[in-house]
Amino acid sequence: MHVIHPPKLSDAAADDDDSPEVLRTYQAWKGSNKFFLGGRFIFGPDVGSVFLSICLIVAPVAVFCAFVARKLIDDFSHHLGVLILVVVIAFTFYVIILLLMTSGRDPGIIPRNAHPPQPETMDLGMEVGPGQTPQLRLPRVKEVIVNGMTVKVKYCDTCMLYRPPRCSHCSICDNCVERFDHHCPWVGQCIGRRNYRFFFMFVSSATLLCVYVLSFCWVYVIRIMHSENTSVWGALIKTPASIVLIIYTFLSVWFVGGLTVFHLYLISTNQSTYENFRYRYDRSENPYNRGIFGNFKEVFWTSIPPSKNNFRAMVQREPKPPTRVSGGSFINSNNEKIPIEPVEIDGVKPQWKNEATAGGGKRRSSLGRSGSWDLESEAASVTGIGYSDRMSRGGSSGSLGGSLEVPVK
Ligand SMILES: [Zn+2]
Ligand SMILES: [Zn+2]
């Protein structure tokens, strides 16, 4: 939907902008992602949580190396003790690399359109009075056939595109992501088509790392029991680091292990987390199900498609938003004139509100906000309640208060 902003008081002020005309895609990025190394790495806005996650992995491993593995070196012969230390360090690096491969890459973002697509059919659903322009709008939902089954795809107001099947708009990153699974706060990134494999490998490897540390802590405790001929409690008291690690890894293994098992179930039935919470497919209804082997093959043995975004490509700075006034009309980006007719209510003419307060949140619809598990609003938007309600309110608020919200042409 186009939002036509109210006329600015002074256009000269806007022309003072001396920033360069050509910039890189990541510099002009409209999503809320954070980029590193000149757009070579893309993270979600909550990238800080990646460092927290790394600390939660490295800190217990460091304690394990210093207080448990180092002691076990002396206990085992034939370099076996050294191997315990080498394996845990190498495995930790592997887990962290998987974490960064999950969070630092494009999860499958579909580039936004600069303009809404042309409607194939005109929807003249709204009443058109004499002298008014007929209001054309894009159908909110389209139906496509996937493997012989009808799947509904929705229009994204923010990205101005029809989302392909399994695509959803992440409310945190503000992008449409292919095969959207969920936005993971621990890796600070969306999990989608291009990083799901690494996400699963990260979670399952982290589970194995927990089991490894937990196991060797018990090995150490048992060796103390045998060497000092004491009870479990007697041995545990002698190694407080092991007590902390045993509790920490025991709790963690429920979390990452549970997640691993849940995703094994999702992979085997070819569902995303989002679809599982949203649709709860029966096995027969899921159009993506290819059988258990086909589903595992799809996740682990198919090539990952290249990114649809070149974050380092040079792009022209977008032209300024259409704000000029010509003969009592706005001219929007399609060079269409929209007459301005302020409505008088009780003899008082309305004032244009500030863009930030009036137009700021206008285009955000619950339709396009699916990453936040806002299932209620999603359900409402599917049935069209949310949209039609918003459409009618949008029409009146456009002339009374803030930005003119004109249905898409
Ligand atoms: Zn979108
Ligand atoms: Zn996200």
Which ligand is in closest contact with the Cα of 103?
Answer: 2
Whether the CB-CB separation of 213 and 64 falls below 8 Å is answered with yes
Quote the ligand 1 centre to 165 CA distance (angstroms): 13
Q: If pLDDT is split at 50, 70 and 90, which confidence band does 169 have?
A: very high
Catalytic residue list contains 184: yes
Q: Cα–Cα distance between 68 and 41 in angstroms, integer?
A: 36
Do residues 69 and 216 touch, judged by C-beta distance below 8 A? Answer: yes
Structure tokens at 36: 């590193």
Is the predicted pLDDT of residue 15 greater than 50, yes or no?
Answer: no
Whether pLDDT at 372 is above 70? no
- Please, what is the angle between helix 292-300 and helix 240-269, to 10°? 120
Give 45 Cα–ligand 2 centroid separation in angstroms. Answer: 8
Q: Give distance in angstroms: CA of 32 to centre of ligand 1.
A: 12
The two structure tokens encoding residue 357 = 């307060």
Give 238: exposed, middle or buried? Use CB within 10 Å, 0-12, 13-18, 19+.
middle
Using DSSP, state whether 162 is helix, strand or coil.
strand
The two tokens of residue 211 are 């089991």
What mean pLDDT do residues 165-186 have? 94
Determine contact, residues 189/43, Cβ cutoff 8 Å: yes
Would you state the structure tokens that stand for residue 119, as one six-digit string? 């409607």
| pLDDT at 240 (0 to 100) | 94
Following DSSP, what letter does each residue of 289-303 receive, concatenated? ---HHHHHHHHHSSP
Would you call 41 helix, strand, or coil by DSSP?
strand
Distance CA 169, CA 155 (A): 10
Per-residue pLDDT, 196: 96
Please write down the HEC assignment for all residues of 188-223. CEEECCCCHHHHHHHHHHHHHHHHHHHHHHHHHHHH
Ligand nearest to the CA of 34: 2
Number of the ligand closest to the Cα of 46: 2
Tell me how far the alpha carbon of residue 90 lies from the centroid of ligand 2, in angstroms: 30
Collect all residues with Cβ–Cβ distance below 8 Å to 74 and sequence separation of at least 6: 81
Indicate the pLDDT class of residue 22, thresholds 50, 70 and 90. confident
Q: What is the pLDDT of residues 190-224, one digit of tens each?
A: 999 999 999 999 999 999 999 999 999 999 999 99
pLDDT at 117: 81
- Tell me the CA–centroid distance for residue 38 and ligand 1, in Å: 24
Between the CA of 170 and the centroid of ligand 2 the distance, in Å, is 5
For residue range 284-316, list pLDDT tens digits in order.
688 899 999 999 999 999 999 999 888 888 888
SS3 331: strand
Q: How far is the CA of 157 from the centre of ligand 1 (A)?
A: 7
Residue 201 C-alpha to ligand 1 middle, in angstroms? 27
pLDDT reading at 348 higher than 50: no
CB-based burial of residue 241 (10 Å sphere; 0-12 exposed, 13-18 middle, 19+ buried)? middle
Which listed residue (170, 184, 210, 217) is catalytic? Answer: 184
pLDDT band at 391 (very low <50, low <70, confident <90, very high): very low
Cα–Cα distance measured from residue 125 to residue 287, given in angstroms and rounded to the nearest whole number: 32
- The answer to whether the beta carbons of residues 43 and 328 sit under 8 Å apart is no
> Which ligand gives the minimal distance to the CA of 189?
2
Q: Which ligand is nearest to the CA of 162?
A: 1
